[in-house]
Amino acid sequence: MGSVKDLVVLKAPSKEEPGRGRFIFSDRYSVFDWGEMPDHIDQKGAALCISAAYFFEKLEKAGLGTHYLGIVEEEEVKSLSEATQPVNILETKLYRVLEPRLTEKNTYDYSIYKEEEGNYLIPLEIIYRNTLSRGSSVFERLKKGKLTLEELSLDRIPEEGTDLQRPFLDVSTKLEASDRYLSWQEAQEISQLPERKMAEIKALTLRVNQMISKEVQKIGLKNEDGKLEFALDEKQNIVLVDVIGTLDECRFTYQGIPVSKEIARIYYRKSDWYREIGKAKEKERAHWKELVQQGPPPLPPRLKLLVSWVYLAFANELAGKEWFGGIPPLTEVLQEIYNFIK
């Protein structure tokens, strides 16, 4: 069970071959690594499932390897075009998750990957950035000297909303208590991947980014950034795993208005709860949540409804099919949301 989706293992993966499982997308959501938030977003799970299936099937047609097998309707695995109603279950191949060991010094030991040959999740999260969005970690990292202008191919400090001439690829940990940005050299060291495999991951990320950007542009959206995860299969091929192209994995905008769970992030950044999280993460890397004394407050009821409509309208318009009836056009919903977050 995760903060936003549950996993049912039909067949466990082994060293020799992948397993098989099902993602059950819930109406839960998470921000700032907190885990489950107090509100559930109505029908969000089905909208995420449809959006993810749409992009996986596009990638499969383009010849990119993924773990996607289909969506599940009435216990039958189908393609999205065969489905007759919104569903929230997606069937995939499964790969082993090899957890790094937390040491007494509160650091992580990744030596487990030295002896592995395949069938495992690569312990990295790859982030592509087309725009330096408001609230992006890039600005704070530039300020603290943890990122350079040269790495971003810039010659001056950027402003929020700066479009990059070419996508910037970032990388972070995936299996630690809180995501930690890495240099590409550090990423290669902890994953134990050869240089050619790291180059392949970067190339695949750029292709996926391009495809997602093209698809959402058709419905008037801009793909500002997103995250991807990869596995090494039994033949040591790099394959795309987890979920792609959804409002939880990407930061889309419409005329500067966020079309993602960034809506909730912006709302919560004004809260005492968010400020307390920031202080806790500065003090403790692995167990920071134990230092946070208060939980997040619920969303205002109208904003909660509008966020639900964003997910549903996005799935409808992306797939070109009215999966969810009675939902206003995405642009209308976003105009009202703007009043909450401006």
Contacts of residue 193, Cβ cutoff 8 Å, sequence gap at least 6? 122, 201, 232
For the chain, what is the domain count?
A: 1
The burial class, CB within 10 Å (0-12 / 13-18 / 19+), for 297 is middle
Q: How many CB atoms lie within 10 A of CB 162?
A: 16
With cut-offs at 50, 70 and 90, classify the pLDDT of residue 135.
confident
pLDDT at 41 over 80: yes
pLDDT of 177 reads 83
On the question of pLDDT at 3 being above 80, the answer is no
pLDDT confidence bin for 95, thresholds 50/70/90: very high
Per-residue pLDDT band at 124 (split at 50, 70, 90): very high
Instruction: Determine the residue type at 60.
Output: E
Residue 133 has pLDDT above 90, yes or no: no
> Angle 130-136-139 (CA atoms, 0-180°, nearest 5)?
105
Residue by residue, what is the 3-state secondary structure of the chain?
CCCCEEEEEEECCCCCCCEEEEEEECCCCCCCCCCCCCCCCCCHHHHHHHHHHHHHHHHHHCCCCECEEEEEECCEEECHHHCCCCCCEEEEEECECCCCEECCCCCEECHHHHHCCCCEECCEEEEEEEEECCCCHHHHHHHCCCCCCCCCCCCCCCCCCEEEEEEEEEEEECCCCCCCECCHHHHHHHHCCCHHHHHHHHHHHHHHHHHHHHHHHCCCCEEEEEEEEEEECCCCCEEEECCCCCCCCEEEEECCEECCCHHHHHHHCCCHHHHHHHHHHHHCCCCHHHHCCCCCCCCCHHHHHHHHHHHHHHHHHHHCCCCCCCCCCHHHHHHHHHHHHC
Q: 49-58, 169-178, 212-221, 253-262: which range is least confident on average? A: 253-262
* Mean pLDDT of the region 256-267: 88
Dump pLDDT digits (tens) for 313-334.
Answer: 999 999 999 999 999 999 999 9
- At residue 33, the pLDDT reads 84
Stretch 241-257: mean pLDDT: 93
Q: How far apart are CA 292 and CA 299, in angstroms?
A: 19
- When pLDDT is cut at 50, 70 and 90, the band that residue 2 belongs to is low
Q: What is the mean pLDDT of the segment spanning 265-292?
A: 89
Q: What is the CATH number of the domain that holds 186?
A: 3.30.470.20
User: Which pLDDT score, from 0 to 100, does residue 285 have?
Assistant: 67
Average pLDDT of the chain is 93
State the pLDDT confidence band at 340, using cuts at 50, 70 and 90.
Answer: confident
Residue 287 backbone phi and psi in degrees, to 5: -120, 40
Measured distance CA(78)–CA(161) in Å, rounded:
40
Cβ partners under 8 Å of residue 301, min gap 6:
none
Q: How confident is the model at residue 79 (pLDDT cuts 50, 70, 90)?
A: very high
- With 0-12 / 13-18 / 19 or more C-beta atoms within 10 angstroms meaning exposed / middle / buried, residue 125 is buried
**What pLDDT shows up at residue 341?**
79
Percent of the chain with pLDDT over 70: 99
Task: Provide mean pLDDT across the span 225-245.
Answer: 96
- Domain limits at 96? 5-341
pLDDT digits (tens, 9 = 90+) for 184-194: 999 999 999 99
State percent of the chain over pLDDT 90.
Answer: 82
Predicted pLDDT of residue 1: 57
